[in-house]
Amino acid sequence: MKVKLTKIFRFEASHRLDHLPEGHPCRHMHGHSYQVIVEISGQVNPDTGFLMDYGDMKDIVKPIIDELDHKHLNDVEGLNITSAVYLARWIWEHIKPQMPLLSRITICETGSTSCEYEGE
């Protein structure tokens, strides 16, 4: 049986998008209460009835989210452009090696926007 599971993580951070044209509001220092939806997909283990234990997901993802929480994202190593698109890819690249079942990262910067990344 193939299923998808998601777990939601949250963090607060500031950033600036310096490459945008003068006058764009995102050039200014500002912050978001980010929501990160981590999705995995695959075949359920019939012995456990799980695809993956949510606790194991947390053990892998939480330390990565902690690298971003209450930080200025422009200072995070490897995150040269701090748009939601590049943030989704940065999180993917840090989680995927430890979590092969990872199938999607969704970043919500606000209550009305989201960005989905499913790898290259």
Say which of 26, 39, 67, 115 is annotated catalytic.
26
Is 26 an annotated catalytic residue?
Answer: yes
3-state helix, strand, coil in the chain (%, to 5): 25, 35, 40
Is 24 an annotated catalytic residue?
Answer: no
Say which of 19, 24, 30, 70 is annotated catalytic.
70
Is 67 an annotated catalytic residue?
Answer: no
Q: For the purposes of burial, counting CB atoms within 10 Å of the CB of 88, is it exposed (0-12), middle (13-18) or buried (19 or more)?
A: buried
Q: Could you give the residue numbers annotated as active site?
A: 26, 70, 109
